[in-house]
Amino acid sequence: MKVALYEGVRSIKIEERPKPTAGPGEVVVKVKYCGICGTDTHAYMHEGLMTPGTVFGHETVGIVEEIGSGVEGFAVGERVAVGAPGSCPEGCYFCRSGRSTLCVNGFARTLGIGPGTQGAYAEYVLAKYPNRMLIKIPEKVKFEEAVLFDIFSTAYHAFRRSSFKGGQKVVVVGAGAIGLSMVQILKATGADYITVLDLDAKKREFALSMGADLALNPIEYPDIKGKLNEVYNGLGPDIVFECAGNPKAVGTAVDVCRPGGEVILIGTNPEPLSTINEIQIGLFELDVKGSFAYNEDEIRTVLGFMEKGKINTNKMLNKIVKLDDVQAALEELSKTTEPVRYAIKL
């Protein structure tokens, strides 16, 4: 089978490998689509984020090709999403506690992310833990929709990490793929008012089309906190979801949140946070929470939302490329700031 191997910064090699076979307790999935994640793009651009020799690809949908002995609940030909491993067989502390996104084995076992793993920039993938990794795709959901499960599930996990209640007023900082997904989830679950902050005019326009009530460029306002206080009855938003993943965005999120409110950090960035201070958090009793990835049940919920039409994937998938063209696609994604999502079709 053909795979796209990550060799190092800005280097992808197409090579042939043996097709995997399903051993006891395992399932082989024929890949139909694989999303190109922002993580893949960052790793392609910057040294040290991923291990050379890894085949990228963790946003995977496909068809069950082969089932190993002892596997129950799946049939050859079924359409599935391939998620993270979820709860580990060893039953680490975090998995036993219902926090599988923090699993001590999760990173190493996540296809396309764990060092040297073979993800879905390939024609086939091997699911070693099918009961945790494979989620059946509802009949009404197309592959082109289902391949977006990662961005919506990431947003939905962050939503669940928050204390959101219907009728609350919220702000979403950053209108990339995760931020746009968050807007839709908040709209579907009864947010009273959603404001999106983003520097890019196209992203702001897209956010409004996805259900945001207001979209602002924060640098156009000398006092963005004051502006939002005007919008939110003098108090500010109840919850701020930071989806941009940079120190300035975190600073903005903390600054605009109302006293006693909540800030959920979804974006990821290794830079030190010099944009916030303890007084902002302590004096105003803000609750600041991190959010990472998602679990298999959240994927099921998101696919159910798609099936019922509660979230709209229209225009979220901008381009479909062939495996041979994945390096060119990563180069394009490394240069754009538009709200784009690419997928590989195999």
180 burial level (CB within 10 Å; 0-12, 13-18, 19+): buried
Long-range CB pairs of 84-89, under 8 A, 24+ apart, other chains included: 84/58, 84/109, 84/110, 84/133, 84/293, 84/294, 84/295, 84/296, 85/109, 85/110, 85/128, 85/129, 85/132, 85/133, 86/129, 86/132, 86/133, 86/295, 86/296, 87/132, 88/129, 89/129
Beta strand 193-197 with 134-136 is unpaired
Tokens of 81: 């999403």
Asked about 46 being catalytic, the answer comes back as no
Cα torsion through 143, 340, 42, 117, rounded to 10: 10
Q: Which H/E stretch holds residue 130?
A: helix 130-133
List the chain pLDDT tens, one digit each, 346 residues: 999 999 999 999 999 999 999 999 999 999 999 999 988 999 999 988 899 999 999 999 999 999 999 999 999 999 999 998 766 877 899 998 989 999 998 888 899 999 999 999 999 999 999 998 999 999 999 999 999 999 999 999 999 999 999 999 999 999 999 999 999 999 999 999 999 999 999 999 999 999 999 999 999 999 999 999 999 999 999 999 999 989 999 999 999 999 999 999 998 777 888 888 888 999 999 999 999 999 999 999 999 999 999 999 988 999 999 999 999 999 999 998 777 799 999 9
- According to the model, what pLDDT value does residue 87 have? 64
The pTM (predicted TM-score) of the whole model is: 0.95
Question: How far is residue 256 from each of residues 170, 249, 263, measured CA to CA in Å?
Answer: 10, 11, 10
Could you say which of 42, 51, 189, 275 is catalytic? Answer: 42
What span, in angstroms and rounded, lies between the C-alpha atoms of 143 and 134? 14
What span, in angstroms and rounded, lies between the C-alpha atoms of 159 and 157? 5
DSSP summary character for residue 338: S
DSSP summary character for residue 271: S
Asked about 39 being catalytic, the answer comes back as yes
For the chain, the straight-line distance linking the first and the last C-alpha, in angstroms and rounded, comes to 11
CB 249 within 8 A of CB 173: yes
Tokens of 99: 């926090």
- Give residue 207's identity as a one-letter amino acid code: A
Task: Please give the domain boundaries of the chain with CATH numbers for all domains.
Answer: 2-147+317-345 (3.90.180.10), 152-290 (3.40.50.720)
The b-or-e profile of 301-336 (16+ CB within 10 A means b, else e) is bbbebbbeeebbbeebbeeebebeebbebbebbeee
